[in-house]
Amino acid sequence: MNNRTGPLGRSIDCFKAYDVRGRVPDELNEAIVYRIARSWAGFIGAKKVCMGRDVRPTSDAFADVFAQGLAESGVDVVDLGLTGTEEVYFGTFHGGLDGGVMITASHNPSDYNGLKFVREKAHPISGDNGLGEIRAGAERGEFDDGGRRGKRIEAFDKSAYVEHLLGYVDADALKPLKLVVNPGNGCAGPIVERLEKNLPFEFVKMDFEPDGSFPNGVPNPMLEENRRETSAAVREHGADLGIAWDGDFDRCFFYDEQGDFVEGYYIVGLLAESFLEEHPGAKILHDPRLTWSTLDLVRAHGGTPVVSKSGHAFMKEMMRVEDCVYGGEMSAHHYFRRFGYCDSGMIPWLLVAALVSKREEPLSSMVAERAAKFPASGEINREVADQKAAMAAVEKSYGEAALSIDHLDGLSMEFPDWRLNLRPSNTEPLLRLNVESRADRALMEQKTNEILQLL
């Protein structure tokens, strides 16, 4: 392994807004992973941390190198093995550790990999509060000897984590629903199997075995072409729900009993309503991409809506600052106060299945009113050469008619009967567009098409 210490001679370009992610080996390789491990350990002053990894071809090797870097920094590492990102969050706050790292590139193709970090109590580390310092330290390559050799401790027992998940539902009150579950050959399958033993559900399993080559396509249900298989299976098997995850299962996606994909926006409102029934007057966190339905529901149920910049690191930090009981992003990230203010891809489907059982009505009818009252485009991605110029053109075209213009996260513009959010991706060279209206699908579609033409 070359270039382990001393000035690197070039910048490390795989640092993003709230994690590390890059193509292997040109953007991210073992030498860089080692440097990042040493720099992160020094930055958080760690003595003991946990580490998990996804199923990608390079994840085992990166875990070995990261653990070596920690050991040479005098840090003990609790190795969780094959995990989802949320298991690292849980291991950190439940175990009282100094931090945690997840080796994953989430939904990116198999030739990518990355790192997600938290510090004590699963506090997030992002570009605004630490990633820049970790990057600079990795580039300098000047690492202090830890004074002792840290240990690597295997801890593959998931029973405490599974017990915590089951604590969000009353298993005795659940109905024997039929669920189509699709981990996309990512890491969710083993946890679903552990939960299955304690639940009355019948599971129809698809793309279930972890396989880092992703033989059935990248595990990213945000892409429409990746939804067809799950939709068809729900219809074929007459299931009550369809559930899919991304590779590290920190995002959870839903299909109703008709096999139709349910936009994450409406799931946020559904869960917000449910939490406010149990916690009257609580604060609910949401992102700025699609807002009107969430604001309407939260206020109608006596809660207080709080907005945060999109992205798991920003959302988690705001969850803590405002002590929100629940937070949700339309991109299918869901955050829970009881889960260390962190996001989980397992808790949402348990809660939705519990709601279907309790209300004895299908998911389609639970969200139909909201979808009619606030129709939304869903997130549309476009590759744009000059993102700043494109966003400026949209703002100029619609600025005079706007009731409000906001730049908290990209560009948000509100009008009497419709609104838009246009923002650059934090992980990919894309602009992401969301449009919604007040009970006027034709208007929403018209404005969506207009903006796409501008782009």
Give the pLDDT of residue 2: 55
Q: Which residues does residue 283 pair with via DSSP β-bridges, in sequence order?
A: 304
Alpha helix positions (H), 301-433: 312-322, 347-359, 363-373, 387-398
Give the pLDDT of residue 427: 62
Tokens of 314: 């920003």
Alpha-carbon gap, residue 329 to 332, rounded angstroms? 6
Q: Say yes or no: domain 380-454 is CATH 2.60.40.1080.
A: no
Tokens of 280: 């009257």
Topology of domain 20-157 in CATH is: Alpha-D-Glucose-1,6-Bisphosphate; Chain A, domain 3 (3.40.120)
Distances, alpha carbon 129 to alpha carbons 100, 120, 202, 382, 426, in Å:
16, 14, 44, 29, 16
Alpha-carbon gap, residue 36 to 44, rounded angstroms? 12
Tokens of 152: 């690597």
Give the pLDDT of residue 1: 46
Q: Any idea where the domains of the chain sit in the sequence?
A: 20-157, 160-258, 264-343, 380-454
CB 122 within 8 A of CB 102: no
Instruction: Examine domains 20-157 and 160-258 and report if their fold is the same.
Output: yes
Per-residue confidence of the chain (455 residues) as pLDDT tens digits? 457 888 888 899 999 888 999 999 999 999 999 999 999 999 999 999 999 999 999 999 999 999 999 999 999 999 999 999 999 999 999 999 999 999 999 999 999 999 999 999 999 998 778 999 999 999 999 998 768 899 999 999 999 999 999 999 999 999 999 999 999 999 999 999 999 999 999 999 999 999 999 999 999 998 889 999 999 999 999 999 999 999 999 999 999 999 999 999 999 999 999 999 999 999 999 999 999 999 999 999 999 999 999 988 899 999 999 999 999 999 999 999 999 999 999 999 999 999 999 999 999 999 999 999 999 999 999 999 899 999 999 999 999 999 999 999 999 999 999 999 999 987 677 999 999 999 999 999 999 999 999 99
Give the pLDDT of residue 429: 76
What region does 340 belong to: left with phi over 0, alpha with psi -120 to 50, or beta? left
Of 82, 89, 53, 80, residue with least CA distance to 315: 89
> Hey, which residues are catalytic here?
106
Of 65, 53, 154, residue with least CA distance to 106: 53
Of 318, 359, 350, residue with least CA distance to 335: 318
CB 13 within 8 A of CB 22: yes
Q: Which CATH class is domain 264-343?
A: alpha beta
Alpha-carbon gap, residue 83 to 86, rounded angstroms? 8
Distances, alpha carbon 309 to alpha carbons 146, 220, 319, 334, in Å:
37, 22, 11, 14
Topology of domain 160-258 in CATH is: Alpha-D-Glucose-1,6-Bisphosphate; Chain A, domain 3 (3.40.120)
